[in-house]
A and B are shown apart, each in its own frame.
Chain A
Amino acid sequence: MPQITLGNIRKSFGSSTVIPDFSAQIEDGEFLVLLGPSGCGKSTLLRMIAGLSDISGGDLRFDGTAVNEWTPSQRGVAFVFQSYALYPHMTVRENIAFPLIMDAFQKWYHIPVVNSVMRWKLMRRPDIAERTDHIARQLELTPMMDRRPANLSGGQRQRVALARSLVRDPSLYLLDEPLSNLDAKLRTQMRSEISALHKRVKKTFIYVTHDQVEAMTMATKIIVMNKGEIQQIGTPDEIYANPANTFVARFVGAPPMNLLNVRQHGTVLSLDGGAEWTHPGILPTKQASLGIRPENLNLRPEGEGLIPIEVSLVERLGAETLLGCRMVSKAASETLLGEDLIFVRVQGNPQIEASARFGLSYAADDVRWYDQTSGQAVTVCDNSPLSRCA
């Protein structure tokens, strides 16, 4: 079982650098999700771990051994492609058995007729046939073993791709956006199947996606990436609760965390256009943006609360309702402040209509602060002896 160490990994194509310097450690049995927008280098990173792309610089180590030069098969990884990359000329059975047959492949099997005969014989070798059938049963592929990929649905192809990667019992599973070609319903189902698979096989999974729901639901650890650099490493809960910077705050969560560019005057916060309120807690020592999740904002009747708002967008999702709100300044009631909506998440469907007015309140504990220039999280320190600050 490997522990994977990425040491100062760099990747460049010609003169353009995709990943400048990437270091991380992946422990055995982890379900690591590489999360980021498209083009952030997450797939490139996965392909370098698999051995499908050259590593331009740095060390990739499996249990301390540098494996930069190893071929994909030497690394003993399983790779599930976004397009599944099933062999279209083989049946489901042949697709699943292919890695096992290749493991038993001898040099002299390259001779044309021998090749067909030996592959035919290997397919029927008891251990290979048994293993193939076993995996197929696990993934409920048994009824379609003699079909070709062209005659399968998207979900079935996805399961064949999983079966083919499972069959050799590798210790490292690499999955490159495996669910992005499926429809929403099937995606939810496959998500739980893959999670269950991870719990059953207890191997390391590295999973690339741009979908934060997939990341939140499956990962034991998430690495958020942008422009080839690590933005944050943490458990889903940590990443959701304490985004390390404004990029993560905006990327994780739907709708994202509200970020308000507030100005501080003592304990009073103000926004461009005149909204002013007293913050119910301790403020950072320098100017910072205020970040708060939509579910941590509470609606109060108009005139109460800290920030007066007017609802301009209502999304009723059944179990919850999202309100897109604009701030109302104290002076002119029609003035709209700021371009971004403040999102508020409320439970159920309270039958709120657009243009309704409320006040917003929040608890100081739910607020995260971000440096207005660097975007990095700012820690607020009180003077209590139990403070977490140094």
Chain B
Amino acid sequence: MTMIPRLLHVALVVVLVIFGGFPVYWMASTALSTNAELYNTGQSAGLQLQNLPSLLSELSKVPLLRWLTNTSIVALGTTVLSLTLGALAGYALSRFRFRGKGIIGFLLFMTQVVPEALILVPLYAMFISLGLLNSLWGLVLANVGFSLPVAAFIIKGAIDAVPYEIEEAAAVDNCPRFGVLTMVILPIIAPSLAAAAIIAFFAGWNEYLFAATFLMDNTMWPASVGLASFIGQYETPLSAVMGAALIFSLPAVVFFLIIQRKIVAGITSGAVKG
């Protein structure tokens, strides 16, 4: 706003950048510090890139690769299942009128109000009987409940913007009913689909509560649980912890920055209409 005098504006931006960026900068700075600095002499404010080799050797002691593999499996599973089911729901909500549509839309919205902790225990009990406890697939199934509705809303919003005549053209062109969705509609809304995929992927990537509860075996741990296990323990050097946290954060930051605008559109349309 031009009503803020120029200097004040600059000062405001600087303060915001420091508040917003400092923790991430500090993660990097800590990762590149030596233990002596961290615990005794005091951490330097700069990025000591010369410490990168020692950071890498310390990181090799952390089973980061295995954790990230587990995390990727969970995140990918969550993405594929959320998008498949979300595309079906989004298409039906956008294109058809049917009994119960209003209720289904409301229930989808409801899931965003339900705290994860609230369904934790019954899911736990269910997974015991299904043999899904201590399994990455169980985790996927739990995560999808929350990311499916988000994907459905984003996809519905995108399909709403596709002219119906294109579907009619496909019908005239002898395209099978299901093919209209997979060969015509979904490719047209590919950008929104990508945004929904990224949201679902990082919902799975970041998820902590279910993973911490359902996975007993630490070879199954995804990175979120593995990293959280560093809290309150002293064996792992702090620089390695911060290095691992940074590596864990990096993909999320990059992809969220790429799709930021899509997320806004998805959330405002989805939640307003929900």
Contact = CB atoms under 8 A, between A and B. Distances in A.
B is bound to A: yes
B175 A71 contact: no
B130 to A, nearest CB: 27
A117 to B, nearest CB: 13
Contact of B182 (A71, A81, A110): A110
Nearest to B165: A85
A71 B171 contact: yes
Nearest to A119: B183
B61 to A, nearest CB: 40
A159 B174 CA distance: 20
B168 A79 contact: yes
B173 A99 contact: yes
Contacts of A98: 170, 173, 175
Interface stretch (B31-39, B102-110, B143-151, B184-192): B184-192
A231 interface: no
Interface string A63-103: 00000000111000111011101111100000000110011
Nearest to A161: B169
A194 interface: no
Contact of A88 (B173, B174, B178, B188): B188
Contacts of B165: 81-83, 85
B172 interface: yes
Contact of B178 (A51, A73, A83, A110): A110
A87 to B, nearest CB: 6
B176 A78 contact: no
A105 interface: yes
A103 B169 contact: no
Nearest to B176: A105
Contacts of B183: 115, 119
B125 interface: no
B169 A79 contact: yes
On chain B, which size bracket covers the interface? 20 to 34
B5 interface: no
A72 B187 CA distance: 23
Nearest to B177: A71
A242 B165 CA distance: 37
Nearest to A89: B187
A50 interface: yes
B179 interface: yes
B171 A102 contact: no
Contacts of B169: 79, 81, 85-87, 164
Contact of B168 (A81, A89, A99, A110): A81
B173 A52 contact: no
Contacts of B190: 89
A110 B179 contact: yes
B20 interface: no
A81 B170 CA distance: 12
Most A CB contacts (10 A, CB to CB) among B172, B179, B190 go to B172
Contacts of A119: 183
B188 A72 contact: no
A105 to B, nearest CB: 7
A305 to B, nearest CB: 54
B172 A78 contact: yes
Contact of A52 (B163, B168, B174, B176): B168
B16 interface: no
B166 interface: yes
Contacts of A73: 171-175
Contacts of A51: 171
Contacts of B175: 73, 98, 102, 105
B172 A77 contact: yes
A74 to B, nearest CB: 9
Contacts of B163: 83, 85
Contact of A50 (B172, B179, B184, B188): B172
Interface string A26-55: 000000000000000000000000111000
Contacts of B171: 51-52, 71-73
A204 to B, nearest CB: 16
Given A52-B168, A83-B165, A89-B190, A99 B179 contact: no
A8 to B, nearest CB: 25
Nearest to B169: A85
Smallest CB-CB A-B distances: 4 pairs: A73-B174, A85-B169, A85-B165, A99-B173
15 contacts: A51-B171, A72-B172, A73-B175, A79-B168, A81-B168, A82-B165, A85-B163, A86-B166, A88-B188, A89-B188, A89-B190, A98-B173, A98-B175, A102-B176, A110-B179
Interface of B: 163, 165-166, 168-176, 178-179, 182-184, 187-188, 190
Interface of A: 50-52, 71-73, 77-79, 81-83, 85-89, 98-99, 102-103, 105, 110, 112, 115, 119, 164-165, 168
Given A81-B165, A83-B165, 7 more contacts: A73-B171, A85-B163, A86-B169, A88-B166, A89-B188, A102-B173, A110-B178
